[in-house]
Structure formats: C-alpha cells, structure tokens
Amino acid sequence: MSTDPYLPGIGTDAATVEHLRVDLDVRLAANRVAGTAVLHLRLLRQAAEVELDLHRLTVDEARAAVDGRALRVRATRPRPRPHRVVVALGEFLPAGTAVELTLRYSGHPVPRRSPWGTIGWEELTDGVLVAGQPHGASTWVPCIDSPAVRQTADITLTTDAGYLPLANGRGTRVRTRGSRETWRWVLDRPVPAYLLTVQIGRYRQVTAPGSAGAPGVPPLRLVVSPRHQARAEQAMAAQGRMMQTFVAAYGPYPFEDYAAVVADEVLEIPLEAAGLSLFGTNHLDGSWESERLIAHEMAHQWFGNAVTLGRWSDLWLHEGFACYSEWLWAEATGRSSVTSMARRAWQGLQAQPEDLVLADPGPEDMFDDRVYKRGALTVVALRRLLGDAAFGEAVRDWVARHAFATVDSTGLRAHLHGWAPRAGVPVGDLDAVLDAWTLRPELPAFPG
Ligand SMILES: [Zn+2]
C-alpha cells in the first residue's frame, strides 16, 4: 500500500521500522550481494502481513518473532511487482505489536528506473555507489522505503580487501579474513531508508583540512581515492568554515560527523545521505559551481536529513533551504550577497513558465530547478518579512523542534505563525507571503 501519491506502490502505512540491522557481503566483480536484514518493525494497525520494498533481490529465508516467540512467516514476491515482498505473519497481530523480522536475501542488485533517472545501487568501474533518493534503498536492502519511516541503523559490510566500504555513522574495521574485509557502521540517529547508503571504492579516509578544533564543527572526513586526494583536499578546504556558517545560521550540526565521499567517476549531480555527501571527481575543479554544491549538500544535513518531509510534494522544504544555503555561503565568503544571488535566481525564474506550484509541483517536476530556486526565494521572502533576527531564531527553532522528525509545509506555516507576532508581523501578512510563493504558480514580485 502506498503512502505517497508521488511514489505509488512504495512504502506502506501498515508498519514502521525502528531499527535496521544489515549484514551484507558484496562480491564486486560479480556485482552480487548476499545478506541478512533484521528489521525491528512496529505494526501501525492490526495486520496478518507486511509489505516491504525490495527491488529485484530474492528473499531466501524469512523468520520473525514477537517477544521471543517465533511466528510462522512466509515471504513471497507478489507478481508482477519485482520490487515488493509480502511477508505473511502467520496470524493477525494487533496494532502496536513489535515484530523482529529477519530476512536472508541475495541477488544481483540493479538500480530502479524512474522519471528522475536511475536510482539506488549502481556499479562503478571499480566499486559501488548508492543514490537513494527518493526510493533507491530497496535496491540493496529490504525496507519500508518511505521518508516518514525513520530507523537507526547498524550496517556491516564485507567486501574485497583493498576497498573501503562505507555506510552511515561511525565505522570501524572489524575483521580481515583472507582477501575479505568486514566493516561495521553504526548510526544512532533515526533517518529514512533513502538516506542510508553503501559506498565502496578504493578509497582512503582522511581528516579533512580546516576541521580541527573550530567551535561547533564536528569531525570532517574526506573519503577519496589516493590519486584524487590532493585535489579533494584543496576543493574541500572551506568545509570547516562552511560548517561554522551553517551552525551559526541553523543551530548545532545534527549528526556525529560528516564525510565528503568522492566517487572515482564523473557524477552528474552530488547527493546527500545521513552524515555524508557523495561527489564526483568533476566536483573537485575548484569552480563556484562545484563550491555551491559542496555547500548545498552540507546544508542538507539540517534540511532533509535531520528535518525530513513526509511526502515528496514538500521537497522544497529540503531544496529551498539547501539552495538558500548556497547564497548564504556566497555571502559569507564575500563573493556575493544573498540579495544579489536571489535576484539572479528570480530573474531566471521570470524567463520560465509559471505553471508550477511549489508545495505540490507534481512528481514529474519535483526535482525541477524551479523547485530549488523558488524554494530558496521563499526562504528569502520569509526572512525579509520577519527580519534577520527573528527569522534566524525561527529557523533554528524549526530545526531544534523537528530534528529527526517528519515535517510538511503546513507545519512550517504553523511554526512561523508562532514567530510572526514576536517579529511584529501580522499573521495575515505571513499567510499572504506563503500563499503567493508556495500555493500559486505566478511568480511574486522580488522580495527586496
Ligand atoms: Zn539538494
């Protein structure tokens, strides 16, 4: 059962996952995985079965227990849906029941095709990346692949020695056996499955320059192949200051640490995951275009990864703030001002069709550049209305209240209603700004 009209047939509203433990063996040359996933599920309503997302991989064995009592479960793949698995629980269980479901699975992972390109597990020339947004987690692990389902994670990866496998959170090498090495990654902040990731390459992990001891700056790691390390260190040298800029604007960094992973390939777009971002070697060219993306991905740790939408129609809540963060960074470095950056974006939008509603752009257009730019302009319009000080406090309060929770556009409006009187702004004025920018297709006047 789908929970999101933008992604029909994905996720379920019958259950949630609170913790996900995965132990995955990855054979790179054959692009074959074999693993065990333990899902700590909680039923949200009475159910005799649960549907999970799992794209093209095979469940070899299913087990389940409630309070240590084994259930007689059976996992089947409903035809003709090669991306779903139905787990029959053997009996009706009441809403609220905690089920520990263990699935042994294997196969050759492949990306999902989608209107936004291929999503999920992708073989590289010499390694693997996972680009999970919006529904790619199911290409490597059985899960409920919907953004409102948040889980902590414990991911163990075994692969060929000489490669560094990465997932989310804190990682350590746990053993080496012959030519195989095993790493374990633990993430103690709950995130949606699409923000969990696997990256494997001939990487080296180093401390990023400029990250030692600055207040509010978590440990910054660079994960990059040795031949690109020097270039990466140069291109990413500003990340410490970037982090300070965003900590000042948005409040404490939400995760334990941050890694910039540079895949050993050219990537069209970088991508955020919980506690890390993925770039291509083309993003190391030192250009402003790359630098703004490095800032953009980092800002997603607050907007998207900690404060996360429940439905994909609200993507502007992630991309608007991430794009606004690029402008904030341009201003922090003295390159430009938020106002000039915003004006350029507004002029760009003027030249485009005004047929997109920001708070419901439709699935085809949800990653359209207009969602990003108009989203950022909405943030600028709100800042103009509330004033810098009240806006800053309102945003930090938004993040603090909703970190590791699900948000929507209506919730942001209600939150700002609470702040408008403190800024001396009539609530009606706030509604007028939000209505014009997020609910109507016409481009409002520049918020200057
Ligand atoms: Zn983004």
Q: How confident is residue 212, by pLDDT bands cut at 50, 70 and 90?
A: low
Beta strand 120-124 with 127-131: parallel, antiparallel or unpaired?
antiparallel
- Residue 1 scores a pLDDT above 60: no
For ligand 1, the distance from its centroid to the CA atom of residue 398, given in whole angstroms, is 19
Instruction: Give tens-digit pLDDT for 284-310.
Output: 999 999 999 999 999 999 999 999 999
- Residue 18 scores a pLDDT above 70: yes
Which parts of 275-315 fold into alpha helices (H)?
288-299
pLDDT of amino acid 217 = 86
For ligand 1, the distance from its centroid to the CA atom of residue 134, given in whole angstroms, is 12
For ligand 1, the distance from its centroid to the CA atom of residue 31, given in whole angstroms, is 29
Instruction: Give tens-digit pLDDT for 154-195.
Output: 999 999 999 999 999 999 999 999 999 999 999 999 999 999
pLDDT of amino acid 78 = 87
Could you give phi then psi for residue 281, rounded to 5 degrees? -65, -25
Q: So which residues are the catalytic ones? A: 297, 372
pLDDT of amino acid 81 = 87
Cα angle: 123, vertex 304, 207; to 5 degrees: 65
- Residue 49 scores a pLDDT above 70: yes
Which parts of 174-309 fold into alpha helices (H)?
229-235, 239-250, 288-299
Share of the chain above pLDDT 70, in %: 99
pLDDT of amino acid 366 = 96
Q: What does the mean pLDDT of the chain come to?
A: 96
Would you identify the CATH topology of the domain 204-301?
A: Neutral Protease; domain 2 (1.10.390)
Element (H, E) at 43: strand 32-43
For ligand 1, the distance from its centroid to the CA atom of residue 13, given in whole angstroms, is 26
CATH (residue range 309-439):
1.10.390.10
> What is the distance between the alpha carbons of residues 84 and 66, in angstroms, rounded to a whole number?
23
- Residue 209 scores a pLDDT above 80: no
> What is the distance between the alpha carbons of residues 375 and 204, in angstroms, rounded to a whole number?
36
- Residue 378 scores a pLDDT above 60: yes
The CATH number of domain 15-201 is 2.60.40.1730: yes
Instruction: Give tens-digit pLDDT for 353-365.
Output: 999 999 999 999 9
- Residue 2 scores a pLDDT above 90: no
Cα angle: 262, vertex 165, 256; to 5 degrees: 75
- Average pLDDT estimate for 59-69: 97
Dihedral, CA of residue 71, residue 16, residue 37 and residue 274, to nearest 10 = -170
Eight-class DSSP state of 335: S
Instruction: Give tens-digit pLDDT for 307-321.
Output: 999 999 999 999 999
Tokens (6 digits) for 264: 């050993």
pTM score, two decimals?
Answer: 0.97
Pick the range with the lowest mean pLDDT from 112-116, 119-123, 212-216, 322-326.
212-216
Instruction: Provide the annotated binding site for Zn(2+).
Output: 296, 300, 319
pLDDT of amino acid 211 = 66
- Residue 214 scores a pLDDT above 90: no
Could you check whether 15-201 and 204-301 share the same CATH topology?
A: no
For ligand 1, the distance from its centroid to the CA atom of residue 87, given in whole angstroms, is 34
Instruction: Provide the annotated binding site.
Output: 296, 300, 319
Domain-wise residue ranges, the chain = 15-201, 204-301, 309-439
